[in-house]
Amino acid sequence: MRRTYKLSLPDGRALCLGERTLVMGILNVTPDSFADGGLHVDLGHAIDAGLAMVESGADIIDVGGESTRPGADEVPADEELRRVLPVIEGLARQVAVPLSIDTWKADVARAAVEAGAAIVNDISGLQFDPGLAGVVAWTRAALVLMHTRGRPAVMARHATYGDVVGEVAAELQARLGAAERAGISRDAIILDPGIGFAKGAEHSVALVARLDATPLRALGRPWLVGPSRKSFLRAAIGERPAEERDWATAAAVTAAILHGAHVVRVHRVAEMVQVARVADMIRAGRAG
């Protein structure tokens, strides 16, 4: 059985994980994201897209202002804030679901939580900005702690593993320790294996297929998995542009849920909510 968890949010609410799979909708307000760059750079369009995700069943909206695709350049904090704050403020006034800020920068995280975000989704595992851990601890935001090696511009060169499951588990354990030493409650942390980040296709496949392996399960935290439209899917379906990988995403989402994912992060919310509900039903049937 998938373990259940309850994460406290800054506004006093609790996020329940495990009873059913939660769907996190991706709302990129960037001109250059790999799958949907430029679609939501207009403020009104971005807010409408977030509202549509909630209407379609999203449990969390993840707002990002910097592309983290392989090879991407970093965006200054002031530009990232210009992109994300109006969207978070606008959505916070209109939706009840928790908002997440997809950033590794302390200044952006602090302002986003003050504007209404409840979760900090950090691709760096608290490695890129030494001030971020203190912000998360002070704001009492929930934290998504993702595995990666190196910054997006150079992470591909670090995709070398002998035992990807064991090494990712060990490195995430180290990041959990760093978070706790900074004053972040372990009970506030969700782990992310980092599909596509410093990993070849075979590594991403192994992590989805073995998410319930003992080294990862022993970390004792809920899992967020983000396979949506990622390049590793091309190993099965061939060379297709990102926007044509949604059927492949559905298969990866199903596999992730059957192997223990608590949250799936996706672009196409309405479709993946249906996928998640069916995968949950099959998972329940397998458990008897």
Contact assessment for residue 144 and residue 122, using Cβ atoms and an 8 Å cutoff:
yes
* Distance in Å from the first CA to the final CA of the chain: 10
Residue 265 falls in the annotated catalytic set: yes
Task: Check residue 47 and report its DSSP letter.
Answer: H
Strand partners, 142: 119
Q: Which whole-number Å values give the CA distances from 144 to 95, 121, 286, in the listed order?
A: 21, 5, 28
- Find tokens 């495990």 and name the residue: 18
How much of the chain is in helix, strand and coil states, percent to nearest 5?
45, 15, 40
216 CB-contact burial (10 Å; exposed 0-12 / middle 13-18 / buried 19+) = buried
Strand partners, 120: 101, 143
Residue of 149, 199, 265, 268 with catalytic role: 265
Residue 157 falls in the annotated catalytic set: no
Residue of 230, 245, 268, 283 with catalytic role: 230
**DSSP track, 118-142:** -EEEETTSS-S-TTHHHHHHHHT-E
Strand partners, 217: none
Q: Report the catalytic residues.
A: 230, 265
